Structures are given as C-alpha cells and as structure tokens.
A and B are shown apart, each in its own frame.
Chain A
Amino acid sequence: MVARTSLLVILLGAGIADADSIDKEIIGDQGWAFEDFTLRTSYLEQNGHGFQSQDGALPGGEHMTIFQPSALVTIRQSDKVTHQIAIPIDAITAASPDAVDATTQASRRNVAGDFDLRTSIKRDNGDTWSTRFVAHAEEWIGGGTIGVGWRRPLADDNATISVNGTFGLDVFDSHDHFGSFLGKTSRTTSSLNVGGSQLLSPTTILDGSYGITLQHGYLRTGWNSVPVADGTLEDEVFPRNRVRQSVTLRISQIIPTTRSTVKVRYRGYLDTFGLHANSIEGALYQYLGVDWLYARGAYRYYTQNGVDFFTTSLMVGFDDDTTLRTADSDLAPMHSNEYSLSLATVRGRGPLGKWSTSAELFRYKRSNDLSITAVSFSLGRLL
C-alpha cells in the first residue's frame, strides 16, 4: 500500500513537473523584473558660424548650449523576453540659430525628447527576434519609428548574422527663411540593415554591417537661407528623395597582458545628394591596476565632400522652385576631429558593487567653423 501510494505520488509529481517545463518552454520563466538602469547627464556647448543662422549674407552665430539628461532601463519580462527603454532629452538654449528665433529674441529654449523601446525575444533554436518603437517629440517636429529585426548565431556562437528594418514618419512645421509658418509637412524614412560578427581568436572580434535608407518628402530645413550673388537670401530647395548607403567594419582586440582593449571602426557612406563620407575611429580602454576601473580614450576623424548643390553664393537667374540649393554648413565639404576621454567603473565589481559610474570629456571640432565641447556624468546600477 505504501509502495503504491509512493509510486502514485512520484508519478503525479513527475506529471506536474512536466507541465511546468512545457509552460517554461513556451513562454519562459515568469516574472517581470527591472534588471538595471543607467542615468547620464551631459552639458554641451556649441560655438561657430553657419548659414543655418540668420545674419544677412554672412554665416550667422551658431552658439548654443544643450542640457542632455538621458536614461536607459532594462526590464526582464521572462527568461526569453527583455525590454530596453532609452529616454534621451535635449534642452537647447540657442542664440539665434534660426530665422524664427532671429526675428523674436536673442535666445530661446527648445526641448526635445525620445522614447525608444527595444524588445528582444529569444527562441529555443538560438534565434533572437527584436522589435523597436521610437517616438520623438519636439517643439516643431513629432514623429515615430517602428522596426523589426532578427539575429542568428552560427558555428557554436563563433559568428552571428542579423537583419533589421525600420520605418519612420516625421511631421513638422515648415517655415521660409523669414520665419513665416507655411503649414505642416512630413517625410518618411525607411531603412534596411544587414550585419554580422565573427570571432577571429580568443581575443579578437570582427563585426560589420551594410545599410540602406530611403527618405521621401520634405527633406530641407525651412528656416535655412541661401545667399544669392546679388546680396539677397533665398530658401533652400532639396530633392524629394534621398537614398543613403553605409558600410561599417570594426575590429575589437583585447590584450590580456596589459589589461587593455583596442577597437578600430571604419564607416563609409554615400548618397544620392552626391555626398560621400568616410570616418575612422579608434578607442583604447585601459584598466587602471584593478579590474573595476578603466580609462577610455578615443579619436575619430571624419571627412565629407559636401552635397552636389551646396553653395554660399547662388548665381542670379536660378529657378525659384527647381534649382537645387543649400548653404547648410552640415552639408558642406568639411572634415572633423573628435576626442573623448573618460573614466568608468564596471558594474558588479569593486567597492561600488552593483553601482557603476563614469565621467567623460568630449571635444568635436569641424573644419568649417563649428566646435562642440561636452562634459558628461553617468550613474548606473544592477537591480
């Protein structure tokens, strides 16, 4: 009797355990939980001149200060589903960078923010599906982006391949270069990106990607002006479509003997506006005698040839509606040098335990009279 009862209990227990394992197999381990968060605050100061700012036929002042708090939170829904939410905010105080402001006040505030939700869903076969939703809000523009992605590990996780696509819609106010409101307008942005990574050695990773983006709609900046040879100013005129392509390649190498890591990244770009660009960036990470504190120094060189229709002196006799033109200094031939230096602690190690912190000094300088200096601090914690 005891033996039969025991056998029955064992069989029932096995049945219940089997049902639980089926549930876990399908929907994963139950339980929402915050996994970690990071808060970062930056203060940026921009100086320089460009035709984005109204100053007659000469480039205007581009001075602005930006306070940029941001947050990143990881939430686990189950052992298969994870959500990551990023919320960057820009609070911009600008001294006359645009026509609207130039006619009213010497400085204005513009607050912009994003809500960026990425969800990863791991499948039993090792594949990971992902979805993305982004909402952007700003004084004069609002928009959203949705996306989906897929990643598969190969060769016992020695390599991965991935594909992702996004579609975005922006709706915003249009202005002429006098600052007059011309009504609402819009543009769409569609992107497809393929990527991969490969372990080359126990200390080396190679990864790269190719992407193509199609933009359609109102692509110019309404308040920008284009100087004409006769001393007057005109509105920008852009094509209605823009196809952008880029390719990136990065190699990451850790050097165990010196407790260092080196990363080098190249990006090439071209588009149907005639703009070709290249950038090369190198970063060195160095642990400072302990396994929980490291310094990071990085340098980036960028160069672009400018769009085909860039001009700072439009020839008289142009057609108001069809002669393509811009004097936007962001689209001019130029190059830039960028430096950053930071100190960071590693979460889960050292005296800070589950906390982590970092501080960074950033300097960006363009050849056509624009520079940005930024200081940033971050704080994070495993939960």
Chain B
Amino acid sequence: MLFNSSIFFAFLAISLLLYYGSFKFRALQTWILLGASYVFYGFWDWRFLALILGSTVVDYLVAQRIQDSGDNKARRRWLWVSMAANLGVLSFFKYFNFFATSATDLLLLLGMQPSPMTLEIILPVGISFYTFQTMSYTIDVYRGKMPATRSFRDFALFVAFFPQLVAGPIERASHFIPQIEAKRRLSITQLEEAIYLIVYGYFLKVFLADNLGVQVNRIFEDPTKFSGLELGLGVIAFAGQIYGDFAGYSSIARGVARLFGFDLMVNFRLPYFAIDPSDFWRRWHISLSSWLRDYLYISLGGNRAGKVATLRNLVLTMLLGGLWHGAAWNFVIWGLYHGVLLVAYRLIGWPKKGWDEGWRRWPLWALMTFFTLIGWLIFRATSVDQILYFLAHFSLETSPNTTKIVGFLAIYWTPVLVFEWIQHRRRNLWVIFEWPLVVRAVILGLFVALTIAFGQRDSMEFLYFQF
C-alpha cells in the first residue's frame, strides 16, 4: 500500500474516521491505530505479520526482564537475547544470501569449488527499520534511560505504527511511547503543519523523485549510450531522486502521524547544504545517523578511547551503516567511503573555525557536494564495474541530448532548490509559516498543482522500501 495510491487514501480516511469517532476513549483509539497498522503492514505481505508480532513480543518481554532483574549480568544476558533475536532475524532475511554468495566467491578465488547455498528469501518490508527501533528500546531500558512499558498494546503500536513502519523515521521509544500514554489532540496549527508536511512530501516524491528517476534509470541501465557530462548529470539526477523519495516519504509519514496527534522526529534538515561530512550526517537520515551514534558508535567506545580508536569507531560505524542500507558490496563501499571522509576531515581539522561563515562556506559546500555525489554514484551503481566505468568516463563531453537532460533536471530540481534555499537562509524548515497567509496558501496550491500536472503518474515505489 504505497502512500501515493488511491487505496492508501481510502485506508487513511477510514482510519481517521474510526480514530476520531472514538476520541473519548483513548484506549480504543490506540487499539484502532494498532489494528490499522497491522492491516497496513499485512497489505504488503500478510505472511510477515507473524514476524513483526514475534519481534514485538520478544522485546516487550525482554525489556521487562531487564527492568525487573537486579543483577547486572542477568540484565546484560537479556539484552543479548534481544540483540540476537533482532539481528538474527535481520541477518537471515536480509543478509543470508549476500554472505553466502560472498563466501562462495571468496572460496572460488582461493581455488575451491563450493556448492552455492542461497535461498529464495523474500525481504520483509521495513524490517531494517522496525528491528532497529525495537533494539533502541531495549538498549534504552538497559541503560536506564526509560522504564519498560507495561502495556503490550502501547509497545506494539510503537513497533508497528503505520506511518513510519516501512521506511522510518526510526523513532525512539522515549519520544514515542509517552505520546501513546498521553491524551492526544490535534490543534488547528498542528493540522496546518500536517497538511504542509503531507503536501510537500508528495511534491518531493511525485514531482521531483519519480520524474528524475526516469532519467536515472535510463542512464544507469546503459551508461555507454551517454556522454561524459551526461553521466555526471545522471548522478545529480539520482541525488535528487533519493532525496525527494526519502525526504518526501519521511515528510508524508510525519504529516500523517500528526493527523493522529503524534509527533515523529525530523529526519532531514536540508542535507545538500552541508559543508562537511559531519554536517551532512547531522542533516541526512537523522533518525539512522543518531541511532548509529547512540547505539553503535558510543557502544564501541565513541571518542573516549583515544584518537586512533575514535577514528576506527567512526569507520566501523559508517561501514555498518552502509551495510544496513542493503546486502550488496556497493552499500558497504558507500558506508566505508563516508567513514573515510569523516576520518579525513577530522585528521585535517576541517572546517577550521570561521570557515562556515560568509563566502568561505562556498568552496566547502562545493567540495562536500562533490563528495556527496561520488557517494551517490557508489550507492546507485549496479556493480563495482559500473562505479569504475562512471569514474573513468566522467568528462565535459556533451552530445545532442545533453541540453535536453540539463533542461529536464533544471525543470524538476529548480522549484525544490529555490524553496529549500530560502529555508536554509532563514534557518527554518517551516519558513512557509512565516509568510503571509495568502502567500502560504498560494505556494501550497502550487505544490499540489505541480504534483498533479507534472508528477510521474505511474509512480515508482519508494526507494527506501528496499531497505
């Protein structure tokens, strides 16, 4: 059930009716939302409902055992049960074939003849998101940051809440569960914020991402048909596609959650205005980068064990972050690439104090944008060979088609870049609410009009669903 499908709109309308129809009964509202979330997930594949339920039951019980155990060893053992269960499920469904194939390839390289051992495994939608979400809960309970919830219903909703179930943001229990327990209300301003988030989300997804995706697919399907400059434009198009797709989805998820009175964390803060790798990761997929920082980087020792260990922890965290994105070597390389970038900037001490102000931002920004685009090439490429092909063939060489591709990118990128440039200048993601009512309303109307008139009608599935 994609967000940009008519069945989703019907589902959302019915869910809202039932939810607000029982506004006097908070518990019933929670049950309705939970039921709706399972219906939503079951629509993707009903067979995996058992998996998400199983994950929910395990972590619900484990968290209580952690809390109730007086003994630190017992608490740690229970935590390992949660980690093993979640990572075990994730490893099997997502990484089994990857590791099996890689091991086979390695043995072949060493001159052996192993028999291939892959399975026909279907990747459950959203598994990377909800397993990380539940692990953050048990870790937070273990660390004493929050008490274990005694309500299975509330915990189940935290795990399965449909707006963010299949592609994030990866919520924190300490932020979300109190919202379930509290009385929910939707003020007029929150409703307006929800509408804006949803409208802008669809604009990013349907207008920007899906249209650029057409060009991206063409170029990456057969790069030999395109000139050197066009290959570069293809990477720029992908930068737009992945941002529009993922930030668009997050925005819709947050807007829909807000319609039910829930606040989800901000997941993107204008990532293409970053001036260095740390800045980029404070702006891109924030729910994942903060998860990796809080539960992996800090657990590895963070920056507390000396410079070398800090750099090692950075690289390892980013490498695993890359692997999270997918069971393929290009994701691992992408993660490693960003880890190396972080380390490199730290070692040379960039940006120096004062460099992030005035005109000095520009060269820093240009360099970071270049690095980001190389990263996206690694991310999108279908093989290591393709990465090398692109790198070897980038040039300023044009063809008769180049102007068309430039025009195409300009048409779809420009409205987003202009709007987000204004957000950047005002340091306000909701700059639209600073504007007079008429201006705000006209902009909203134009977003809707452009989405309908120029949006890709046979819409592509959200990219991040494959993770």
Q: Do A and B come from one complex?
A: no
**A residues with CB within 8 A of B:** none
